[in-house]
């Protein structure tokens, strides 16, 4: 029996279609746009603080190269774990970029301009306090959707990031499955460890989401048996959307993969990533961003989506629900 849930909108790194990802400004905007959950990617600093940043490197979204030119490792990268929180908070955050001929090139050129205004990196606690503060001042109950990044890397640096994240969650009152939090991770060994060992040890029980990438390591999980095994420790999956609808689908002839049914049959919720409105990245089988949402929410039947465009997604669901009587 498939559980029926209200379809949810997860603000992927905040309102990242409009403001630099993972800044408090992007989070406040996504909150105001009506997100059900705000996403946090979490990495650890040298002084063991948990910060909200997508990579365990600093170089793709900050000016670290200008401020601390010599602090890279042999591979040329600047690692969060090599910097204290105080050092990291001296950096400016911008839209995601890559380097070309000595120049910064924005990954999404039509989004917030590079190098404008002044944005900073904040801690996980700062962001929870923003969400909980807004929940108080608005009377809404928006959730959080934290992701533990690179647990194996953190372990190799002598740090247990999962335990540190759980401590923060518990301190802020997130400790039951009924609380407004989903905890996500790409590493199935770590997620199982969280479920089997850490949560019981800490007197907690949270909704867990196994993220899935379209790579061969994840293939064994995609069968009916794989989903049943995952359901022993996870409550949901967060797959790449291309794992649900094949990109070679054409309009009106969608190739929906067996993963959808396998996950739902196993009782898992499905929250695919990442929904973006930029025309050049909308798959050929969808006519528009709204059509893409229609396909995933109502033909594939997913339970929620990660989106850079909370406003468009919330409005789409509102329009769709008009005229449908609610209990
Ligand atoms: Ca993430």
CA dist 265 to 37, 106, 224, 238, 289, Å? 25, 41, 8, 16, 28
Q: How far is the CA of 239 from the centre of ligand 1 (A)?
A: 11
Which member of 54, 122, 264, 271 is catalytic?
54
The alpha carbon of 147 and the centre of ligand 1 are apart by a number of angstroms equal to 6
CA-closest candidate to residue 317, choices 48, 50, 7: 7
Model confidence band, residue 321 (pLDDT cutoffs 50, 70, 90): confident
Angle separating helix axes 161-171 and 124-138, nearest 10 degrees: 30
Rounded to an integer, what distance in angstroms lies between the CA atom of residue 276 and that of residue 281?
7
Q: Distance between CA atoms of 14 and 39, rounded to whole angstroms?
A: 7
Q: State the CB neighbour count (10 A cutoff) for residue 68.
A: 18
Measure 41 CA to ligand 1 centroid, in angstroms: 5
Identify whether 54 is a catalytic site residue. Answer: yes
Calpha distance 305→99 (Å, rounded)? 30
pLDDT at position 221 over 50: yes
Quick one: pLDDT band at residue 322, thresholds 50, 70, 90?
confident
193 flagged as catalytic: no
pLDDT band at 121 (very low <50, low <70, confident <90, very high): very high
User: Which residue in the block uniquely carries the two structure tokens 């608005």?
Assistant: 138
Measured CA to CA, the distance from residue 209 to residue 79 in angstroms comes to 26
Domains of the chain: 8-319 (3.20.20.190)
Residues 264-299: tens digit of each pLDDT = 999 999 999 999 999 999 999 999 999 999 999 999
Q: Are 248 and 275 within 8 A, CB to CB? A: no
Q: Determine the distance separating the centroid of ligand 1 and the alpha carbon of 205, expressed in angstroms.
A: 21
């Amino acid at each position: 029996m498939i559980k029926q849930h209200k379809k949810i909108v997860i603000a992927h790194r905040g309102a990242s279609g409009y403001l630099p990802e993972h800044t408090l400004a992007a989070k406040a905007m996504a909150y105001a746009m009506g997100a059900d959950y705000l996403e946090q990617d979490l990495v650890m600093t040298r002084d063991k603080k948990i910060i909200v940043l997508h990579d365990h490197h600093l170089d793709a979204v900050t000016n670290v190269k200008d401020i601390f030119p010599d602090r890279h490792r042999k591979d040329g990268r600047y690692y969060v774990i090599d910097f204290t929180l105080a050092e990291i908070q001296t950096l400016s955050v911008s839209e995601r970029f890559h380097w070309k001929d000595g120049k910064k090139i924005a990954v999404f050129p039509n989004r917030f301009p590079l190098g404008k205004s002044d944005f900073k990196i904040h801690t996980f606690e700062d962001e929870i306090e923003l969400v909980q503060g807004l929940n108080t001042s608005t009377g809404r109950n928006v959730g959080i959707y934290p992701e533990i990044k690179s647990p194996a890397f953190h372990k190799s640096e002598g740090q247990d990031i999962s335990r540190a994240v759980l401590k923060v969650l518990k301190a802020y009152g997130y400790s039951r499955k009924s609380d407004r939090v989903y905890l996500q991770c790409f590493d199935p060994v770590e997620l199982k460890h969280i479920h089997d060992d850490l949560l019981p040890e800490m007197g907690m029980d949270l909704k867990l989401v196994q993220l899935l990438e379209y790579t061969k390591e994840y293939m064994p999980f995609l069968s009916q048996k794989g989903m049943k095994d995952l359901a022993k420790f996870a409550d949901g999956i967060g797959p790449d959307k291309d794992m649900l609808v094949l990109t070679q689908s054409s309009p009106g002839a969608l190739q929906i993969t067996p993963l959808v049914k396998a996950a739902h049959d196993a009782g898992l919720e499905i929250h695919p990533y990442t929904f973006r409105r930029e025309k050049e990245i909308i798959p050929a089988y969808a006519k528009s961003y709204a059509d893409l949402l229609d396909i995933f929410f109502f033909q594939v039947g997913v339970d929620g989506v990660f989106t850079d465009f909370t406003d468009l997604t919330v409005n789409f669901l509102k329009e769709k629900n008009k005229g449908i009587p609610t209990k």
